[in-house]
Amino acid sequence: MKNANKKKYGDNRESNIPSKNQNKNVNKVNDGVFVFTKSLTVGELAKELNVNASDIIKKLFLQKKLVTINQYLDDDTIGEICLEFGYDFQKKDIVNEEDFEKVEFNDDPDSLKERPAVVTIMGHVDHGKTTLIDTIRNSNLVASEFGGISQEIGAYQKTFGGHKITFIDTPGHEAFSAMRSRGASVTDIVILVVAADDGVMPQTLEAIDHAKVANVPIIVAINKMDVSGANPDRVINQLAEHNVIAEKFGGDVITCEISAKKKIGIDNLLEAIVLQAEMLELKANPNRFASGTVLEAELDKGGGPKATLLVQNGTLYSSDYIVVGTTYGKVRRMTDEHNQVLKEAKPSTPVSVIGLSEVPLAGDRFMAFPTEKQAKDIAEKRKNRKIEEARSKSGGVKSLDELYSKIQEGQLVQINIVLKTDSAGTAEAVKSSLEKLNNDQIKINVVRAAAGAINESDILLAAASNAIIYGFNVRPSAFIRKKSEEEKVEIRLHRIIYALTEEVEDAIKGKMKKEQVESVVGEAEVRNVFKVSKVGSIAGCMVRDGSIMNNSTIRILRDGTIIYEGKIESLKRFKDDAKEVKSGFECGIKVENFNDIHEGDVIEAYKMVDKD
Ligand code: GDP
């Protein structure tokens, strides 16, 4: 029978929502195994196992547990009873749609099609990973229609001998392990680059460990064969000592001798990848809604969140609705590595996508859904669950002052931090600097580190987890500031990493000092921009909050990110100069030495005051 749960939508793709079949209350004995999905009463269990309820009650009584026939049993007890009566047991979780990472795809074998292998290049520093990536990327470029166009995203596809191969660009093990630590596995094959003149080095071993843990086959590229000291046999011997046994030694690891720089042996390597991919029989079902993993993401200045996604199953169409991490969005524009617009992306295709409402994290899983409502509901549920999780794990301090006094009292303190930055790279960097401050008395727990403006969900997460929000090169809007006051969440803003870490460090060391802090006095939204010759760009604004003074220090925010800081040159109400324009009034603002103002930008006026 063809998949009975196949739901047909306009475009015929199968939905990824867990099928009723998958979630059916199994509760039945299968090959001597009792599979159950929910708790059962003594009577129900007796019926399923075909035993007398009184026998179950008796067994439990002997363990000093008094139960009645209508009493529900917990999972452990059900397991025990099964074993007592000679059955094995298995608890099957009900998969909710918001747990889409756990959805099992029961694809009809006929619907599975070959998909390109996804390859990651790893190896010791200076052994030639970047050179190899460049060489492969540029090979045959002259013949291709995209000759010379620079690559836009960190992954690309190459066709060799009629087979496509997907390369993920990020050399280095951090990216690989960061993804894996978030539960994502995207790589089918690891190319281990080892320099023939240097041999196996510490990071070579690290790469082998990563590949082994991920259960991903290795192809060894013995590089720098053009160098006079090249000794491939030594590399093969050294690898064997670490249980990477080359075919030559009777093992199953393919090795290729190459020179990434002189472009020698590259075709052999590509052929080996194709061969290895064939052995792996990589398949996916293009005829279902897409799912996959975020490879990288950033806040595209002016354009909102931008993410590189790897489609791993199904087909992603532009205008699909997707849930990524805890956010959702409509794919507004989908492009390939050459910035060419794509209408569809089949399994193993990397694409750059615009249209998400927040910047996801590398390693986040995404899934497409047939309707916006489904995507929105699922994202909402995932977000709430995250907040719940944080709530149950909380125990942090609400402010640096509280941290300071707890430390003074000699208490063990956990400090929870929600970190928002202007780019994903900075988020990781700041996070790791903060985590280095951990000591016997302090546990720094970064509950969220992401790129993007501070938003309502950050406030909720911080409130739920007793966290302090740190903004790095991002600013909260007036609405968010109000919200943070309501929720009693402290927001601290910085523009230099060491200043941020120093502040936390000082608080930890008990050196909280009186300091000057910024106090926002007003916020205006740019509604129109007028270009005036010899003067420059005048921003036609509406003051939304507080007031703007003609001598205010200001910053300009675009999508919550600071793009300029400076002073007001002139402030006008209609044609007249104004000293102050209050909330609810329109005004014209010329910012000193700055003309790249856009409609939708926010001008924030602030002053420095003593912190009490
Ligand atoms: P990575 O740190 O592993 O990414 O290594 P790179 O690709 O940056 O290469 C390190 C150095 O080795 C650079 O100076 C490259 O030009 C050089 N290199 C890479 N591949 C080859 C090769 O096949 N032959 C020679 N002679 N040099 C190479």
Question: Is 286 in contact with 280 (CB distance < 8 Å)?
Answer: no
Instruction: Kindly tell me if the per-residue pLDDT of 195 is higher than 70.
Output: yes
Angle subtended at Cα 51 by Cα 48 and Cα 54, rounded to the nearest 5 degrees = 115
- Of residues 260 and 478, which shows the higher confidence score? 260
Task: Report the separation in Å between the CA atom of 250 and the middle of ligand 1, taken as the mean of its atom positions.
Answer: 30
Buried-exposed string 306-323: b where 16+ CB fall within 10 A, e elsewhere:
bbbbbbbbbbbbbebbbb
Helices 75-84 and 42-49, packing angle to 10 deg: 40
Q: How many angstroms is it from 195 CA to the middle of ligand 1?
A: 8
pLDDT at 184: 62
Enumerate residues lining ligand 1, CB below 6 A: 123, 125-131, 171, 223-224, 226-227, 259-262
Taking CA atoms only, the protein residue closest to ligand 1 atom 14 is 126
pLDDT at residue 146, as a whole number: 41
- 99-143 pLDDT per residue, tens: 777 777 777 888 899 999 999 988 888 999 888 988 988 765 433
Res. 174: pLDDT tops 50: yes
Average pLDDT over residues 588-599: 92
Residue 391: pLDDT band by 50, 70, 90 thresholds?
A: low
pLDDT top residue among 350 and 532: 350
Beta bridge partners of 297: 307
Among protein residues, the one with the nearest Cα to ligand 1's atom 9 is 128
Tens of pLDDT, residues 204-238 = 887 887 788 778 999 999 999 999 999 999 999 99
Instruction: Output DSSP code: residue 575.
Output: T
| 185 vs 520: CA distance, rounded Å | 44
Residue 107 CA to ligand 1 center (angstroms) comes to 43
Q: What pLDDT sits at residue 326?
A: 83
Residue 227 alpha carbon, nearest atom of ligand 1? 26
Instruction: Calculate the average pLDDT of the chain.
Output: 83
For residues 350 and 325, the model is more confident at: 350
User: Ligand 1 pocket test: which of 203, 227, 261, 266 has the largest number of ligand atoms within 8 Å of its C-beta?
Assistant: 261
pTM: 0.61
- Compute the average pLDDT of residues 319-334: 91
Distance 191 CA to ligand 1 centre (A): 15
Distance in angstroms (rounded) separating the CA atoms of residues 294 and 308: 6
Whether the per-residue pLDDT at 1 is higher than 50: the answer is no
Contacts 24+ apart (CB under 8 A), 108-111: 108/2, 108/3, 108/285, 111/285, 111/287, 111/288
Phi, psi of 254 (to 5 degrees): -80, 135
Burial class (CB in 10 A: 0-12, 13-18, 19+), 424: buried
The H or E element spanning position 61 is: helix 53-62
CB 532 within 8 A of CB 538: yes
Mutate to test the pocket of ligand 1, among 131, 206, 222 (most ligand atoms within 8 A of CB): 131
| pLDDT greater than 90 at residue 188 | yes
In the prediction, which pLDDT does 148 show? 40
The answer to whether 574 and 541 are in contact (CB under 8 A) is: no
Residues 6+ apart with CB under 8 A from 242: 200, 205, 208
Q: Residue 356: name the closest of 371, 373, 336, 334 by CA.
A: 334
| Furthest-apart CA atoms within the chain: distance in Å | 96
Count the neighbouring beta carbons within 10 Å of the beta carbon of residue 273.
26
Residues 6+ apart with CB under 8 A from 257: 196, 222, 225, 232, 265, 268
Ligand 1 centre distance from Cα of residue 133 (Å): 11
Distance 263 CA to ligand 1 centre (A): 12
The rounded distance, in Å, linking the Cα atoms of 284 and 111 is 8
Q: What is the pLDDT of residues 517-575, one digit of tens each?
A: 778 899 999 999 998 888 889 999 999 999 999 988 899 999 888 888 889 999 999 88
What is the residue type of 483?
K
Residue whose Cα lies nearest atom 25 of ligand 1: it is 224
Distance in Å, CA 271 to ligand 1 centroid: 22
Per-residue pLDDT of 396-429, as tens digits, reads 666 767 666 666 666 667 788 899 988 877 888 8
